Structure 1
Amino acid sequence: MKCFLRYIGVVDTQDKLHNVRLEQGLNIITGKSSTGKSAILEIFDYCLGSTEDTIPVGTITERAETFFIALQFPSYFLVAARKKKSDRCFLLEVQGTDPDRLLKLIEQPKAFFDPKHYMPLRDFKKSLGRYFAITLDNIDEDPYLKAAGRNKSATPSVRSFSSFMLQHQNLVANKHAIFYRFDEKEKRDQAINHFKILMGLVDEAYFDLYREHEVAKHELKKIQAQIPKQAQRKEAAIARYNRYLAEFKTLAGLALVDATAEDIYNKPAMMLKMISGRSVKIDVLSDQVEVRRAELQAQRIVALTQKRKLQGQMRLVNDSLTSATQFGLDMTADSLPTSTVLSDAHCPLCEAHSTVPAVEANKLVGAIEWLNEELKLSAYARESFAAERRKIQEALGGVNEQLRLIQADIQPLDEEIEKLKTTKSVDEQATKAKLRLEIAIQDQLDKPESELSGQEKLLRSEVERLAGLLAKYDTRDRLNELSQSIDAKMCELGSHFDFEETYKPSKLRFDVETFDLWYQQNERTRVYLRSMGSGANWLYSHLALFMSLHYQFAALSDKGCKIPPILFLDQPTQVYFPASLDDADEFDAKLLAKQAKREDDVDDDMSAVTNMFTQLAKFCDETGKTTGVTPQIIVSDHADKLTLGEGYKFQNYVRATWRTRGFIAED
């Protein structure tokens, strides 16, 4: 995102304007302690929609009425402001790129900060987000969140930027924390989850596609799960038709239709019409009834024999299971010794040394070991018997179902004899068989089976189509490529900072999926920040990482990256010169070193500090030349009048010096 911070300021209670004008590249605000340097960062965060007002209490908060920032885009300014301790925010777009003209407008605060441009904090974040193309409504990859009763995930907003833009005084050289707001797990997880969105690797269309893909896959699985059931249903229907066709032929002596059960299943409507129109004809000379009855009785005998055999097996298994269970209970009920360790034994009469107790103890140990093995065997036996019982129960269920069907087929044959005795009608039973077949066919028609194979083909095609669209985002490979670029840039930048010799050459690594930072000592060993030793190592690790990230923000600004390359560094020199000690009218490195008990290191410290500012200035310039976008680094520090290297002049980057006054000058 191509924008930078042009102004940051305060309108006091007397409508007087206090501001700092900033430029692209390196910006330095220098001064002694308690002059408002750290407040610069907090004002920016507050005007960017922070829920909390963390601006340091003091002169600024006592005299301030309104805080504001002005972001400069290629063709306009965007001014955001908030009154102190307020949840209403101001947002106004001002056309043009002349910073002097903008400042003249703001110098009339009552007219410029018109109440009609104020809005609730929630609306402000959404409105501000539109300028950074952050308008996503749903970034969940699970399409069934609502159905499961869960809330949607938080979407990215301008608040997502703060973790990448702000390095507070207590964070810039911290060995335990790297990113702002990561002390709250929810915000940490959100920042990591939003990273690929903010970097422009994915957009809302990606999440829409992802959810559609998940739904299509889910529907495909449902259809695929139903296909075996359809096959079972078809098999059952054909078996029913075969039974009724056989029953009719047995009773009538003639086939009802010249068609198989499969033919009826495949063309149920046509076959039902044909069968319904057929009259029942009886072949009185046929002996099909007796032949069929004999077949069924033979089948019943075989099935009944199998049932009795299975029942016998079940009885044996139940007895064995009961015995194994009781054996385990009996064995564990016995009282067992807690220990077999014996001290030296002596005869109670002559006090001679005796080995008899040790021998008996060895026997006891052997008995205990045998018992343990038997108990294990008992448990194994119970498991084996239980599995065997389940298998027999399943087999019994199948045999009982077979017997039920055989009995159902015999029943109409028996009923025929009784009907002939009473009604003398030879076609009544055959008519009933024909009617049962018609009812079965109608049941198939009433509950039509969907064309699952066709649906599966369509859904498979849809899953493949959506997968192809998702593949175009190439998220995994692009994220890996980004990770490698960040690591390479960190190593390049880190090699110019004054790390301890142990961490040279720079081999810093950053995981874009966990946001962990470490030094890769060798192929297997990672040295995390907390184990890297001195404050200088922690500081330079932070600087190398954030400079590398901001290089990516600049390089990808034309490729969808949402994060503007604006970085605040508050008191980075504190590892050498603690800011709390600096209250003089001039920056005096030797005096500060003495107070910090680092007199012997003052020259080395000054060399490291000078080099750090040189590298920051160089980074901004070279990144601008390479990517076409110059990052903006805003350093609040007490270091002043440094002699930089490589032709850079410290004073060219100083935007404010607060030694004899603060951000808001005393009256």
Structure 2
Amino acid sequence: MKCFLKYIGIVDTRDKIHYVPFYPGLNVITGKSSTGKSAILEIFDYCMGSSEDTIPVGVITDRSKIFFVVLQFASFVLVLGRNAGTNKCFLREVPSAQADSLIALIESVGAFFDPRYYVPLADFIKSLGRYFGVTLENIDEDPLHKELTGKKSETPSIRSFPSFMLQHQNLVANKHAIFYRFDQKHKRDQAIEHFKILMGIVGEEYFDLAKEHNVAKQELRRIQLQIPKQDMVKASAIALFSDCLSEYLALAGTPLIELTPEEMWKNPKPALRKVMERSVRIDGLSDEFEKKRNGLLDTKAELMIKLRSAQGDLRLAKSSIDSASGFGLTMTSLPIPSSSALEEAAICPFCDAHSDTPEDEANKLSDAIHWLNKELKLSSYARESFGEERRSIEKEIKAIEAQLKEVQNSLKPLDEEITRLKLSKNVDESAQRAKFRLEEAIKQRIEKPPSDLVDSEAYWKARVKALADEMAEYQVASELEKLQNDINDKMRQLGQNFDFEEAYKPVDLRFDLETFDLWHQKDKDTKVYLRSMGSGANWLYSHLTLFMSLHYQFAARADSGCKIPPILFLDQPTQVYFPAALDAGKKFAPEVLAIQANRQDKLEDDIDAVTSMFNQIANFCTDTHQQTGVMPQMIICDHADNLDLEEGLEFSDYVRATWRTRGFIAEVEPA
């Protein structure tokens, strides 16, 4: 995104304007303590739609009425404003032709800050997002996410920008934290997830595809879960057809129909017609009834033998468990001798000589009892072994009982037929009933046809693959890998220019886009994370190296969809060298600050390090502009002033405000 910060300003309670102008490249605001330098970052964040007002309490908050920020785009400027302590935000677009006279327009406070341009905070964030191309309404890849959670996933907005644009005083050299407001895990996770969107790697069309892909996968899974159930329904129906045919054969002595149960399942309507057309014919000479019944009785007998055997095994397993438990409890409760000393001295009866043998044997007995108790305490292992055997036998018994039930169900109509024949002498009735049962089973198959899940499965498999192929064209993984490699390559290049400790030279900083972790790769197998690097200078240079590398990518990808403008605020980066709590001088006096910090012996080196840091930042802006066509904007608020930069660079050229005799809000003449 090509835009830069043009002004940050305040309208005070007397409608007087106080502002700082900014330009592409390096910008420095220098001054003593408590003049409003750090407030610059907070005003910017507040005007960018922060839900919190973190502007430091003091003169600025006491005397300010409206805070405003001006962003310069190619063909217009955008004025963002916000009244102190409210969630009403001002948003007004002004043509570039009026950019040079913008401050004069703003000075007519009542006319410029017309109430018509004020909107609620939520609407302001959405409207401002449109200028940066951040317009996604839904990034849920799971279509059920909103139904399950009651809300959509957080979408990227301009509120994602400050994490990459602001390095506050307590953050710029922090060893535990790198990004603004990453102390809240959900914001960190959102930033990581949104980064590929903000970098222009994916857009809303990608998430539409992702949702379709998930819908297709869910439908495929639903069908695949149904297939085994349908197979069970099919197997059950075929078994019923087979039972009916077998029962009819046993009762009538002749087959009802030539079709197999599988053929009847496959073509139920023709099968039903043939069954209904076939009249019941009884073959009185057939022995099929006895063969069928005797076969079932033999099977029943075999199953009963297996069942009795399994039940016996189960009793033994339960008895073994009870015995192990009881024996273990009994033995562990036995008293153990506390001493092996014998009441009387052991004297040999033959030679009256003293002997240690009885005492040794007593000690061995005591050790043996201790060992046995220890082993018995482990009897839970033995019980578990018996328990596993018991569960296996119980499972076997259930299976046998199920088979036995099937056999008994098959025997029941045959036994009933014997009783019926004794009473009614009607041979055709039972066979007719078996035929009728078969007709009803086939009708059930016709009335509830199974869906063609095989064809549906093939369709959804193809759909899942087609959508996956479309998503693969975005090459998200490879694009993120390329971006990560570009960031790391740039960090290796930039890192060599900063004064890291010797232990970390040559510095090889790495950044992981999946976790947003930063570390120094000491060797092939050793990662030294920021928290373990030691020294405030190392932490500062690691932050600078990472953020300069990120902003290089923001500039390089400005024309290819990157939403984040390369604007970076650095608050008090020299604090690792001049950590004085109070700087009240009328000019920057490093020797005084060095005394306060007890660093007099390092003053010259500290000045050189600070000067080198500003040289590198100024050169970075110029080099990035030459290489990408976009000039990043680096805004540094610091005590440092009047540094003797390298040839061709004048520190005063980068200073936008010096607050030594005044602060951000200049003194106003009494009314």
Same fold, TM exceeding 0.5?
yes
For 1:577, the equivalent position in structure 2 comes to 578
**Alignment match, 2:303:** 303
Q: Does the 8 Å CA contact 1:77/1:97 hold for their aligned counterparts?
A: no
Matched with 1:558 is 559
Q: Does 1:45 pair with 2:45?
A: yes
For residues 594 and 258 of structure 1, the distance between their equivalents in structure 2, rounded to whole angstroms, comes to 110
* Contact kept in structure 1, 2:580 and 2:597, CA below 8 Å: no
Change over 3 Å in CA distance of 1:357–1:653 after alignment to 2: farther
The residue type paired with residue 177 of structure 1 is A
What corresponds to 2:383 in structure 1? 382
Q: Please name the residue that 1:16 is paired with.
A: 16
Q: Secondary structure at the match of 1:27?
A: strand
Q: Secondary structure at the match of 1:37?
A: coil
Q: Which digits, 9 at most, give the CA deviation of each residue in 1:594-630, with x for residues without a partner?
A: 3433333222222211111111111011111111211
Q: CA deviation at 1:271?
A: 1.2
User: Is the 2:644–2:651 Cα contact (8 Å) retained in structure 1?
Assistant: yes
Q: Distance in 2 between matches of 1:144 and 1:328?
A: 55
1:86 Cα deviation (Å)?
1.0
- State the shift of 1:48 in Å: 0.7
Is residue 492–residue 506 contact of structure 1 (8 Å, CA) maintained in 2?
Answer: no
Cα distance in 2 for partners of 1:332, 1:444 equals 65
The CA deviation string for residues 483-528 of structure 1, in whole angstroms up to 9 with x for no partner, is 2222221121111112222222121222222222222222233323
Go from structure 1 to structure 2 and tell me whether the alpha carbon gap of 1:599 and 1:300 turns closer, same or farther (over 3 Å shift).
closer
User: Is it true that 1:624 corresponds to 2:663 in the alignment?
Assistant: no
Q: TM-score, normalised by structure 1?
A: 0.93
Aligned partner of residue 202 in structure 1, secondary structure: coil
| SS of match in other structure, 2:100 | helix
Change (3 A) 1:429 1:548: same
User: Which stretch shifts more, 605-614 or 150-159?
Assistant: 150-159
1:375, distance to aligned residue in structure 2 (A): 4.1
My pick for the range that moved more, 199-208 or 357-366, is: 357-366
Alpha-carbon distance, 1:355 to partner: 8.8
1:319 aligns with 2:315: no
2:636 pairs with 1:659: no
**Matches of residues 206-245 of structure 1 in structure 2 within 5 Å?**
206-245=206-245
Partner in structure 1 of residue 372 of structure 2: 370
Alignment of 1:414-493 (within 5 A): 414-493=415-494
Deviation at 1:187? Answer: 2.4
Give the 5 Å matches for 1:133-172: 133-149=133-149, 151-172=151-172
Per the TM alignment, residue 58 of structure 1 is displaced from its structure 2 partner at its CA by 2.1
User: What residue in structure 2 maps to residue 122 of structure 1?
Assistant: 122
Q: Which amino acid in structure 2 is aligned with residue 117 of structure 1?
A: Y
Summarize the Cα distance change of 1:156–1:292 in structure 2 as closer, same or farther, 3 Å threshold: same
1:661/1:149 CA distance change after superposition, 3 Å: closer
| Corresponding residue of 2:350 | none
Alignment of 1:276-355 (within 5 A): 276-334=276-334
Following TM superposition, by how much is the alpha carbon of 1:585 offset from its aligned partner in structure 2, in angstroms? 1.9
Aligned to 2:525: 524
Using the TM superposition, give the Cα deviation of residue 353 of structure 1 relative to its aligned residue in structure 2, in angstroms: 12
Instruction: Describe how 1:536-615 pairs up with structure 2 within 5 A.
Output: 536-578=537-579, 580-615=581-616
Describe the shift of the 1:454–1:589 C-alpha distance in structure 2 as closer, same or farther (beyond 3 A): same
Number of the residue aligned with 1:54: 54
Paired AA for residue 614 in structure 1: N
Once the two structures are overlaid, the 10-residue window that deviates more, 310-319 or 39-48, is: 310-319
After TM superposition, give the deviation of residue 356 of structure 1 in Å. 6.7
**Gap change, CA 1:365 and 1:99, over 3 Å in 2:** farther
Q: Distance in 2 between matches of 1:258 and 1:178?
A: 81
Contact 1:490 1:548 in 2 (8 A): yes
**Distance in structure 1 (CA, Å) of the matches to 2:65 and 2:638:** 25
SS in 1 for 2:71: strand
> In 1, distance between residues paired with 2:142 and 2:335?
57
CA distance in 2, matches of 1:347, 1:589: 92
1:224-243 superposed Cα distances (whole Å, 9 cap, x missing partner): 33333333332222221111
- Relative to structure 1, the CA distance from residue 366 to residue 422 in structure 2 (aligned partners, 3 Å threshold; closer, same or farther) is closer
**Amino acid paired to 2:631:** T
Q: Distance in 1 between matches of 2:447 and 2:666?
A: 88
Return the alpha-carbon distance in structure 1 between the equivalents of residues 650 and 335 of structure 2: 89
Structure 1 counterpart SS, 2:183: coil
For 1:148 and 1:336, the matched residues in 2 are separated by 62
What are the superposed Cα offsets for residues 203-234 of structure 1, whole Å, 9 maximum, x if unpaired? 33333333433343333333333333333332
8 Å contact from structure 1 (residues 345, 354) kept in 2: no
1:431-468, CA deviations, whole angstroms, 9 ceiling, x for partnerless residues? 10001111212222333222222222112112212222
Conservation of the 8 A alpha-carbon contact between 1:623 and 1:630:
yes
Would the aligned equivalents of 1:172 and 1:569 in 2 still touch at CA under 8 Å? yes
Q: Helix, strand or coil: the match of 1:307?
A: helix
Show CA shifts across 1:372-425 (max 9, x none). 33443x333322322222332233223323333333333333333443444443
Show CA shifts across 1:176-216 (max 9, x none): 22221122333223222322222222333333333433343
User: Aligned with 1:55: secondary structure?
Assistant: coil
Cα separation, 2, equivalents of 1:335 and 1:649: 93
Partner Cα distance (1:90, 1:334) in 2: 87
CA contact 2:29–2:655 (8 Å) conserved in 1 = yes
Q: Which amino acid in the other structure matches residue 202 of structure 1?
A: V
Q: In 2, distance between residues paired with 1:84 and 1:416?
A: 96
Unaligned runs of at least 5 residues, structure 1: none
Q: Which runs of 5+ in 2 are unaligned?
A: 347-353
Q: Is the 8 A contact 1:346 1:354 kept in 2?
A: no
Q: 1:571, 1:579 within 8 Å by CA — same for their partners in 2?
A: no
Q: 1:100 to 1:114 in 2, by over 3 A?
A: same
Deviation at 1:90, TM superposition (A): 0.8
Taking a change above 3 Å as real, the CA distance of residues 43 and 429 of structure 1, as seen in their structure-2 partners, is same
Matched, 1:261 2:275: no
Deviation of 1:346 after TM superposition, in Å, equals 12
Aligned to 2:181: 181
Measured in 2, the distance between the counterparts of 1:188 and 1:566 equals: 20
The aligned residue for residue 200 of structure 2 is: 200
Q: Tell me the alpha carbon deviations over residues 297-319 of structure 1, each in whole angstroms, 9 at most, x when there is no partner.
A: 22222222222222222232222
Determine helix, strand or coil for the equivalent of 1:67: strand
Bigger mean CA deviation after superposition, 195-204 or 258-267: 195-204
Q: Which moved more, 1:64-73 or 1:454-463?
A: 454-463
Structure 1 counterpart of 2:349: none
Once residues 88 and 588 of structure 1 are traced to their aligned partners in structure 2, the CA distance between those partners, rounded to angstroms, is 43
Q: For 1:558, what is the secondary structure of its paired residue?
A: coil
Give distance in 2, aligned partners of 1:402 and 1:582.
93
Q: Deviations over 1:159-183 (max 9, x none)?
A: 1111111111121122222221122
SS in 2 for 1:647: coil
Does the residue aligned with 1:559 lie in a helix, a strand or coil? coil
Deviation at 1:16, TM superposition (A): 1.4
In structure 2, how many angstroms separate the alpha carbons of the residues matched to 1:381 and 1:496? Answer: 68
Structure 1: distance between partners of 2:473 and 2:540: 39
**Which amino acid counterpart does residue 8 of structure 1 have in structure 2?**
I
Write the distance in 2 (CA, Å) between the matches of 1:528 and 1:381: 49
Q: Percent identity over the alignment?
A: 56
When the two chains are superposed, the root-mean-square deviation of aligned CA atoms in Å is 2.7
What is the SS of the residue equivalent to 2:645? Answer: coil
Residues 145 and 336 of structure 1, relative CA distance in 2, 3 Å threshold: farther
Aligned counterparts of 1:355 and 1:635: Cα–Cα separation in 2: 90
Does 2:427 match 1:410? Answer: no
